[in-house]
A and B are shown apart, each in its own frame.
Chain A
Amino acid sequence: MSDQDSIYLDHAATTPCDPRVVDAMNPYFTEVFGNPSTMYEGGRKAKQALEGARETIANAIGAKPEEIIFTSGGTESDNHAIIGLAEAGKMKGKKHIVTTPIEHHAVLEPAEYLKARGFELTILPVDEHGIVHPEEVKKVLRDDTAVVSIMHSNNEVGTIQPLSEISKVTKEAGVPLHTDAVQSFGSVPVNVDDLGCDLLSISSHKFYGPKGVGALYVRKGTRIRPLIRGGAQERNRRASTENISGIIGLAKAAEIALAEMEVTSARITKLRDRLVNGLFNVLTDIRHNGHPTERLPNNVNICVRGVEGEAMLLFLDMKGISASSGSACSSGSLEPSHVLRAMGIPQEVAHGSLRFTLGKKTTEEQIDKVLAEIPAIVDRLRQMTPYQQPPEHYKMPEWLAAKA
């Protein structure tokens, strides 16, 4: 199968680097290679480029340049935000952390790490669409809450949180709010003042930039401890010689994403709706996951009855279609999607989950090809399944539930 025939629908996992980004990065490998911490010309040029990129990222999210810390990506930004705020809070006697069950593991695992080190952890409930309600946040805030971390949009189901409402609650309580905007930035407008967040994570490779680079926004006046020590870079907040070429790529990708967002998002939304509607037309017994309207333009998440997610992915791959699933069997961890489970979707339903995330190169022909291929794949797998329950009986057989 040639590359032209392959259909990539896993843009939430990563995106291809835009050639314009690669062109912008190229001089910073071989020509402008100086260490920005040095005083001679080569270093000064690198420093100038670094600060230009910082300004671009700041402008892109409505922040000031000094509020941007460049990092190695979304995972580091999330770790830095959670651990950095918790440690700063601890110095003032704070020991409580609040987050949600649908966060990326880059938030959940640092939170668990802090819990093991003496912090108290509150996991907020979400509704069946994956929405965190502001009044739920209000209920759990305490005087000793060091950090609230609630993602802007979810990577699996695409649900967008009412952050501007949630931030009113955290602001009133004087608790810093971090948001993981890794899936949002470049796809929907992200402005730190509109959202009202104090910290925000972004990752370059989710919006056609290079892998291994991201940024953390920290609102001026927010106390945060560094995560990586060993140098005065990033105003003493993140040691390590700056990844100049990567940072230039991040900034170029952000610039392109913002310039093209309106047109691209409108086009992708149409294709997404074509795919969702098409899936309900060509398949029986499926369900749609995530919020019906408050969602990313490019995300389609469904559960298909009587089949397992990874098996669908394998057959799709044989047809040149790349997608994703939240099934336990596709995760390598034996656990089904924690996001779908938190939304109240039973395990055996999550077992058949399938996610398509569209991108700027996705075409109508590609969507139609998926719709043409998928019925045969599902039929084939359904013919193999030992239990053909009607949808209303779509639950784990009692004999198996008893073992769970």
Chain B
Amino acid sequence: MYSDKVLDHFANPRNVGVIEDADGMGEVGNPTCGDLMKITINVADDKTISDIKFQTLGCGAAIATSSVVTEMAMGLELDDALAITKQQIADELGGLPPEKLHCSVLAADGLADAIKDYRSKG
């Protein structure tokens, strides 16, 4: 059902945790299935994501997409990080089962929410 890469990110998730006094924080959830995600970021030079951490309450795909999106976003300029799509997240993991594609939406939304939060603080 899951690719090896999904299982790897699920069993060995990257960048788990919360950045203390983070520059931006995103909180998203899927009210239908009940998954919850929190992403915190630090931004260097008002430009690039210098640190990123996540916490997720959810299934294997929710954890794996959260983990992989932190890897993808680390070191990216904010606009490039915002441009990460659910499809890119799924592709990065070697694909997701169709019923799990919504998990990659949550990961993309969580990251976007964190960047928006950072920008809203001006």
Contact = CB atoms under 8 A, between A and B. Distances in A.
Contacts of A315: 11
Contacts of B10: 311, 314
Size bracket of the B interface = 20 to 34
Taking chain B's interface residues, is the majority helix, strand, or loop, or is none over half, making it mixed?
mixed
Interface string B25-39: 001010111111110
B70 to A, nearest CB: 12
B13 interface: yes
B57 A387 contact: yes
Interface of A: 306-311, 314-315, 318, 327-330, 332-336, 347-348, 350-351, 383-387, 396-397, 399-401, 403-404
Interface stretch (B58-66, B72-80, B88-96): B58-66
Contact of A399 (B27, B58, B59, B100): B27
B34 A336 contact: yes
Interface of B: 2, 7, 10-11, 13, 16, 27, 29, 31-38, 55-63, 99-100, 102
A334 B55 contact: no
Given A330-B59, A385-B57, A386-B36, 8 more contacts: A318-B11, A327-B34, A328-B32, A328-B33, A384-B57, A396-B34, A400-B36, A401-B31
B32 A334 contact: yes
A384 B59 contact: no
B57 A308 contact: yes
A314 B60 contact: yes
B59 A310 contact: yes
A387 B57 CA distance: 8
Nearest to B39: A386
B29 A384 contact: no
Contacts of B13: 384
Contacts of A318: 11
Contacts of A350: 34
A332 to B, nearest CB: 5
Contacts of A333: 99
A390 to B, nearest CB: 15
16 contacts: A308-B34, A308-B58, A308-B62, A311-B58, A311-B63, A327-B59, A328-B33, A329-B100, A334-B99, A351-B57, A384-B56, A384-B63, A385-B56, A386-B27, A396-B31, A397-B29
Contacts, number: 89
Give the 4 A-B CB pairs with smallest separation, nearest first.
Answer: A329-B59, A386-B38, A404-B31, A386-B55
Contacts of B102: 334
Contacts of A386: 27, 36-38, 55-57
A377 to B, nearest CB: 11
Identify the interface centre among B2, B11, B35, B57: most chain A CB within 10 Å of its CB. Answer: B57
B29 A400 contact: yes
A108 to B, nearest CB: 19
Given A314-B7, A385-B56, A329 B35 contact: yes
A75 B63 CA distance: 35
A42 to B, nearest CB: 44
Contacts of A387: 36, 57
A347 B27 contact: no
B32 A335 contact: yes
A338 B11 CA distance: 29
B59 A348 contact: no
Nearest to A404: B31
A158 B20 CA distance: 45
A159 B55 CA distance: 36
A348 B36 CA distance: 10
Contact of A332 (B7, B32, B60, B99): B99
A383 B83 CA distance: 29
Contacts of A334: 32-33, 99, 102
A195 B32 CA distance: 38
A307 B35 CA distance: 10
A96 B57 CA distance: 43
Nearest to A315: B11
Nearest to A333: B99
Contacts of A335: 32
A387 B59 CA distance: 15
Given A329-B35, A332-B99, A351-B34, A403 B29 contact: yes
